[in-house]
Amino acid sequence: MQKDLCAEHSLSDKKQLHEEVGRKKTKTNNRKNKNVNGLSLMLKKYTKKAKKIKQNIVLYCTVVVLQTWIYRTI
């Protein structure tokens, strides 16, 4: 049965089908790569923001500690 179906298709039909499948695969792979690249860019962006926020918190805490220490000594 399978051989009969294959015999019905001409060689050009098989090549065309193979090319269409290949195009679909590359389209989905490209879309997946775009998604991954987008996620990595977002991750970089938010890690930079998180580092900056962490630095601000550390700075704020040191200022508060210094202020309380100065007020106690005065």
- pTM for the model stands at 0.43
| Domain limits for position 48 | 2-73
Q: One digit per residue, pLDDT tens: the chain, 74 residues? A: 455 455 555 666 666 666 766 666 666 666 666 666 777 777 888 888 999 999 999 999 999 999 999 988 87
Give residue 42's pLDDT. Answer: 79
Number of structural domains (the chain) is 1
Give residue 39's pLDDT. Answer: 72
Give residue 1's pLDDT. Answer: 45
DSSP assignment of 10-72: -HHHHHHHHHHHHHHHHHHHHHHHHHHHHHHHHHHHHHHHHHHHHHHHHHHHHHHHHHHHHHH
